[in-house]
Amino acid sequence: MHPLLAECLDHLPVLPLHVQSLFALFHDPNADGRQVGELVCQDPALAAQTLRVCNSPFFGLPTEVASIHQAVVLLGMEMVQGLVLATYFQTTLKSDGLPGGWLDGAADHAVATAHISRWLLQALGEPLQAGAAFTAGLVHDVGKLALVQLGREVEQQVVERRISGGDWLTAERHVIGVTHAEAGGEVCERWGLPDSLIQCARFHHTPLEALNEPMACVVHVADCLAHAAVTGGGVDALATEPMEAGAWQALGIDDEEMGELAADLLDLYATRSPS
C-alpha cells in the first residue's frame, strides 16, 4: 500500500459523538426512526443537506419534506441513515487541491448509483431491500474519496498508467498498491460500518467475490448504469463501463431482460434527473 494512503487511513477523522451514535444504530435491530431523527437534528448542517437530497426529484415525493422526522417517515430509517452517512463523508473531506467540480461529480455519481440500486430492487420485486441498496449505492465509491486525498500528483500517475494500457483498477493497484474499492472497504471497516456496506464497497467491481453477493451485484449493475446515465450515452455507453454478466445472472436476470431493464432504468433516471 502507498505509504501516503496508509497514513491517510491512520488519520481518518474521529467521528463526532452524534455520528458515532448514528453509525451504532446501523447495527441495532431495535433502533427506531425517532432515534435516527433526533441524532440527525443535532447537526443542523447535516440535517439541511439531508433534506436537500431528500427533496430532489429523484425521490419523486408528492410533497416537500420539511423535517428530518418527516423524511424518516416517508423514506424509512435506512435510507435516511444512508443520506446522512454520504453527507458526512462529503463534508469531512478536505476539498482543497481537488480538481474543480470533482466533489460534485463524485456526489452526483453516488446519488445516481443509489437511486438506480433501489429502483433495480423495486423492479426485481424486492422493495424491502431498497433502502439497504440505496445506502450501499451511496457509499460504494467512498474509497475514491480516500484516494483523492493523496493529491494531484498521485492521481496523475494513475491517469498516466491508465493511458499506457490496462484498466483503472490495475492502474490504481500499480501506483497505490490498492484499488479504490479495496480502500473503500478499509474506510468502511475502520468506521465500524455494517459488514454489508463494507462488502459492497470492497467488491463493487468484483461482486461475485462478495459475501453478500446479491447486494454487491445490485450495486455493481447500478454503478455501471449510473456511469452510462451520467455520460449520457444511454445503453450504448455501458460498453465503456464493463458490467459483469455474472452479476445480473446471479440476480436471476437473463441477458434479454437485462437489456430491457437497463433501458428502463436509464429512462427513469433521465426523467427524474434535476435539469
Site residues for Fe ion per CB under 5 A:
141, 223
| Shortest reach from residue 87's CB to Fe ion, in Å | 18
- Which residue lies nearer to Fe ion by CB, 46 or 187? 187
Residues 6+ apart with CB under 8 A from 142: 89, 184, 187, 188, 201
| Shortest reach from residue 261's CB to Fe ion, in Å | 19
Say which amino acid occupies 124: L
Q: How far is CA 215 from CA 13, 33, 131, in A?
A: 28, 23, 11
Strand (E) or helix (H) holding 71: helix 68-75
- Which residue lies nearer to Fe ion by CB, 51 or 183? 183
Strand (E) or helix (H) holding 121: helix 102-123
| Shortest reach from residue 106's CB to Fe ion, in Å | 9
| Shortest reach from residue 215's CB to Fe ion, in Å | 15
| Shortest reach from residue 203's CB to Fe ion, in Å | 10
- Which residue lies nearer to Fe ion by CB, 75 or 229? 229
Spatial distance between the Cα atoms of 215 and 200, rounded to a whole number of angstroms = 7
- Which residue lies nearer to Fe ion by CB, 16 or 234? 234
Spatial distance between the Cα atoms of 80 and 180, rounded to a whole number of angstroms = 25
Residue 65 near residue 51, CB atoms below 8 Å = yes
Residue 113 near residue 223, CB atoms below 8 Å = yes
- Which residue lies nearer to Fe ion by CB, 68 or 238? 238
